[in-house]
Every structure is written in C-alpha cells, then in structure tokens.
C-alpha cells in the first residue's frame, strides 16, 4: 500500500499499539508451537510406535532447523520488507504443524517438523529486528522483558494446550495451534511496519525532516558483526546457557513420570505434568523487574546489563538442582476425565500439598534469577548493533543458541535413558537434569567478559548514527 493511499490512522499511536499487540500474539504462538512437542512426547511416542528418546531428538531437530534458518531470515529482513517475511514465516510453521498431524511414524513427524522449524526461524530473528524499532534505548530492558514474556507465555500456552487438548489425541492440540497461527498471520497484514531505526534518538532529526534511514546490511558486514567483541561474548554465552535451558524442556516429562509413579495413568500424568510445567514457569514474570533494573543501572554503567545477567544465571543453579529432587508425594487429583476438576486440583495442590508447595517456591526463586538473562541479553544485543544489523546478529545468536538447546534437549534424554539402568524413574530424569545445570557456569563468565567490552561497542553505534543523521541533514 503506497503512502498516498494509506488511511489517516496508519502509523498513528493507536495503530502502533494494535501492531504491538498482534506482534506479541505472533511471538507467543511460535513458542506455543515449539512447546507442544515436549508436552506430548510420551503420548506421541506411544501413538506412532517409537520411544520417547527418539522423539526427543525430533524436537531437538525442530529447534536446530529453526536456529539455522533464522540467520537467513534475519539477513533478508535486514535487507528488505520484514513484514512480508513474518507473514510468510508464520504461514510456513502453521502448515508444518498441520502436516505433522498426518504423520503416523517417527520419520513422518521428523519430516514435517523440519517445515515447522523453517517457519519458526523467521519469528526469532526478523521479529527481534522489528521489535527493536519500537523501543527507545532508555526502556529497552523493560520492553524486551515483555517481548521475552510473550514468548514465555506462548510456551505456557503450548504446554497447557498439549496437556488439556492432546492428552488423549495429540493431533488435536497441533491443529488448534496451527489454525490460530493462520488467523494471527492474516491479522498481521493490517499492522504498521516501522521504519528501520525509528526508535534511535540519534536519528530523530533525520525522521523529523521527513527523510528515512536507508542503510541496509551488506554481506561484507557479517564478518564485522562476528568480529565485534561484545557480539562474540553474547553469542558464545548462548551456547552454554542453552544447553542448560534445553535440558529444562524435560521438566514436564519429569513431572509426568512423578505423577505416574504415584499410580496414575499416562493420560492423567500427561495432563497433570503439563500443568505443573505451566505452574513452575510463572516465576518468569519477574523478568519485568530485571529489565527495569537493567535500564536503571545501565544509566550508571554500560556494564550493568551483562553483570545482572551473569549474577542471575549463577545464582539460579543450586535452586534448579534442589527443584529436580523434591519428591511428589500425596498427590490427589481426580481420574474421572473431568478436565476442569483436574486443573483445579493440580493448581490447588500448591496450597494443600507441602511437596508441591516446596517445588513451586524453589522453581519460583530459580526462575526469578534466570529471568535476569533474557531481557538484558535482548537489550544489550540491540545496544551494540546498528539497526540494519540486528536481525542478522540475532539470527547468528539464535543459531548458536539453537545448537546448544538441541544438544541440551537431546542429550538430557539420552542421559536419563542411560541412568535408568541404575536408577528408577523419575530419579533418572532428576539426575539427568541436574547434570546439565553445570553449563550455566561458563555462561556467567562469558557475560562478565561482555561487560568489559560493551561500553566501547555502544559508543561506536552512537557515533555512527549521529554521523549518519548529520550527513542526511
């Protein structure tokens, strides 16, 4: 639509707010799509006649494909129309989910999951580039916490949809999320496509004069991005961190096993395990406070965001380990098939069952600490890179994150399987998850390294934008 034919509201405050809402829904849904797999591993494995470990590798493959394709999506977004890429990316992952429901074998699920992963890659990198152009530097931590929360909320929705809709028929949950993806993709066509660099204060004179920021990425810029010190540390920390985060995808399975150990059926265990997975993620909402703290302290020192992330990551480790080993005794949930009663009993057990209450509190503390990571990583990556580079650098970071996450998710299942020969279920899952928390330790060190280089890289971005704004005048 050309500028002369756009309606009066186009690009106004109301339209921008509408765009952000649709964008948050879009970011949530792609995470809901990814969360369906771990929530339904046991049910899917039983249905298609395979083992949980093999299906776990399919989930890891989806994450890896998403990470690989995010680099290409991000580069294309930094060169051209990001809105079109996000629309088609959403259509692709929705189609992948729909086609997965037609599979009746491990190979079929794996093949269609690759399509899903390709589409999901667009939301990660192109979406990050777009959202950064809605946010001023002074509020990046808080705003990015909402961006991260929308993804976390999507994961919760995926777990809940899997547990409630897919406990007896996993295909139903896949179809619902796929259909919702198509609806939101169509709504996205009516959103505002922000000019690249729109939120940068240094470029205000440029936009106020009616000009546009016309810089786009060139292939030669990619090496420069990798050579930037802070980018290297921020990307490398993601590898070790995501091995640990990837292992946490098995938490719903751990609790499914704990519920089954109490004598419940796999259907009930799938539902209750998924609900526990939802409940134990609620601590992620504290990322808003972590983002606010990053914004506040960043005004005092450019090292703040990196140091907050390092502290949070390291402090969370002992709490995660304790969380995995808290037993689940005395659970009382109905088995008559009434989904509402199961939901109420599961959430109510936080107040009636001391073991569930202890698990909830410890998980809340652990996630409160790790919530410092996401918004400050997003904000710092934005701070140290030019507007036309942010989709690509996020794609590169997401690639390394995806490799680490795939390793963590895949190997945790392997470790749990090997440990099963010496330890009973669910102790084998608890041990497997605990082992992988050690990967958070190098993450803290790499964030400290980033804190030493980020000031210079931020200054270079400001100098470049100021120079380009003055040249345009």
C-alpha span between 369 and 319 (Å, rounded): 9
DSSP secondary structure, 237-298, as one string: HHHHHHHHHHHGGGHHHHHHHHHHHTT--HHHHHHHHHHHHHHTTGGGGGHHHHHHHHHHHH
Question: Whole-model pTM above 0.85?
Answer: no
Domain boundaries, the chain: 9-190+218-463
For 192-246, what is each residue's pLDDT tens digit? 888 888 888 888 888 878 788 888 899 889 999 999 999 999 999 999 999 998 8
How large is the average pLDDT for residues 170-199? 87
Q: How far is CA 215 from the centre of its chain?
A: 29
Per-residue confidence (pLDDT) for residue 450, from 0 to 100: 96
In sequence order, what are the residues at sequence separation of 6 or more whose Cβ sits closer than 8 angstroms to the Cβ of residue 100? 108, 109, 112, 113, 116, 174
- Per DSSP, which regions of 161-251 are E strands? none
Q: How far is CA 29 from the centre of its chain?
A: 11
Give me the chain's average pLDDT, please: 85
Which tokens in the block code for residue 432?
A: 């497997």
C-alpha span between 47 and 42 (Å, rounded): 9
What does DSSP assign to residue 336? S
CA dihedral 320, 325, 329, 335 (to 10 degrees): 70
Per-residue confidence (pLDDT) for residue 377, from 0 to 100: 93
Neighbours of 422 (CB within 10 A): 9
Q: Give the residue among 254, 256, 258, 280 at the shortest CA–CA distance from 270.
A: 256
Q: Is residue 453 over pLDDT 90?
A: yes
Q: Report which listed range, 131-145, 207-221, 248-262, 353-367, is most confident.
A: 353-367
CATH number of 9-190+218-463: 1.20.1250.20
For 68-107, what is each residue's pLDDT tens digit? 888 888 899 888 788 888 899 999 999 999 999 998 888 9
C-alpha span between 221 and 463 (Å, rounded): 17
**Cα–Cα distances in angstroms (integers) from residue 5 to residues 10, 16, 337, in the given order:** 10, 18, 55
Q: Treating both helix axes as pointing N-terminal to C-terminal, what angle do 390-419 and 229-247 enclose, rounded to 10 degrees?
A: 30
Per-residue confidence (pLDDT) for residue 45, from 0 to 100: 85
């Amino acid at each position: 639509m050309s500028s002369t034919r756009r309606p009066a509201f186009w690009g106004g405050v109301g339209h921008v707010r509408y765009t952000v809402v649709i964008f948050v829904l879009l970011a949530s849904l792609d995470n809901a799509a990814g969360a369906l797999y771990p929530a339904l591993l046991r049910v899917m494995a039983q249905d298609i006649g395979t083992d949980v470990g093999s299906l776990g590798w399919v989930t890891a493959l989806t994450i890896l494909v998403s990470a690989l394709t995010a680099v290409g999506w991000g580069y294309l977004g930094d060169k051209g129309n990001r809105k079109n890429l996000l629309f088609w990316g959403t259509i692709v992952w929705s189609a992948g989910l729909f086609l997965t429901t037609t599979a009746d074998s491990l190979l079929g699920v794996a093949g269609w999951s690759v399509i899903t992963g390709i589409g999901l890659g667009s939301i990660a990198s192109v979406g990050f580039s777009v959202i950064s152009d809605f946010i001023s530097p002074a509020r990046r931590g808080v705003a990015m916490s909402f961006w991260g929360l929308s993804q976390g909320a999507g994961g919760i929705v995926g777990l809940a949809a899997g547990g409630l809709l897919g406990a007896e028929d996993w295909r139903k949950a896949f179809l619902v999320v796929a259909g919702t993806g198509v609806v939101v993709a169509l709504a996205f066509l009516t959103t505002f496509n922000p000019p690249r660099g729109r939120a940068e204060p240094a470029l205000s004179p440029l936009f106020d004069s009616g000009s546009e920021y016309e810089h786009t990425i060139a292939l030669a810029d990619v090496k420069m991005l990798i050579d930037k010190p802070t980018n290297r540390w921020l990307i490398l920390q993601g590898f070790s961190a995501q091995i640990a985060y990837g292992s946490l995808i098995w938490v719903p399975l751990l609790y499914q096993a704990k519920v089954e150990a109490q004598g419940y059926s796999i259907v009930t265990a799938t539902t209750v395990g998924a609900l526990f997975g939802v409940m134990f993620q609620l601590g992620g909402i504290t990322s808003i406070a972590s983002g606010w703290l990053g914004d506040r302290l960043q005004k005092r020192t450019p090292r703040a965001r990196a140091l907050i992330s390092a502290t949070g990551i390291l402090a969370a480790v002992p709490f995660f380990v304790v969380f995995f080993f808290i037993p689940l005794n005395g659970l009382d949930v109905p088995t008559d098939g009434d989904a509402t009663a199961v939901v109420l009993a599961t959430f109510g057990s936080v107040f009636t069952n001391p073991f569930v209450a202890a698990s909830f509190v410890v998980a809340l503390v652990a996630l409160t600490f790790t919530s410092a990571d996401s918004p400050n990583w997003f904000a710092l990556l934005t701070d140290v890179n030019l507007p036309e580079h942010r989709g690509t650098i996020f794609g590169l970071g997401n690639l390394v994150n995806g490799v680490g996450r795939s390793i963590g998710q895949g190997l945790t299942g392997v470790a749990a399987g090997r440990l099963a020969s010496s330890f009973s279920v669910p102790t084998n899952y608890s041990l497997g998850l605990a082992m992988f928390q050690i990967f958070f330790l190098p993450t803290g060190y790499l964030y400290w390294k980033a804190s030493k280089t980020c000031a210079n890289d931020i200054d270079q971005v400001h100098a470049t934008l100021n120079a380009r704004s003055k040249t345009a005048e």
